[in-house]
Structure 1
Amino acid sequence: MLEAKTHLSRLVEAIESGAETEVVIARNGRPVARLTSLRTSQPPRRLGVARGQFSVPDSIDAANLQIAELFEQG
């Protein structure tokens, strides 16, 4: 815990830069806290980003029954 207090700025910089993804802080050898980034590592998904770029054939579901039967047969 003392080391985390002493080097908190350095630990936060390591998280911000991506050098570390998380830092576990321990007291008397037992983990008590986790320091992680609040930013997500991936940008949020944009729904509909590929709309109109693909065509789905009418027969897309034709094999579903056959596949289900294969799973049920084990």
Structure 2
Amino acid sequence: MTSDAAAQFNIHDAKTNLSRIIDRVEHGEEIVISRAGTPVAKVIPLNRKVHRSGRGSLRGKLLATEDWDSPEVNETIALDFGLAQ
């Protein structure tokens, strides 16, 4: 959006144009929803905390040793989480 003011929709128009509003928000806009001219809500973009490239994005980056599921390793993990004596 070119100005600092957020776009504003009344509730009826917001219901009618919800898909368009969401599309604009996905592109970084903030939208204000008003009832009888009084702002009551703001629709803002969510910032994603994790951007994954898809399934298998850690392929080749993790190393599993031959003993990854041995009783000794399992016992150590259980102790780390307070689940073993």
Higher helix share: 1
Q: TM-score range by the shorter chain?
A: 0.3 to 0.5
TM-score relative to the length of structure 2 = 0.42
TM-score relative to the length of structure 1 = 0.48
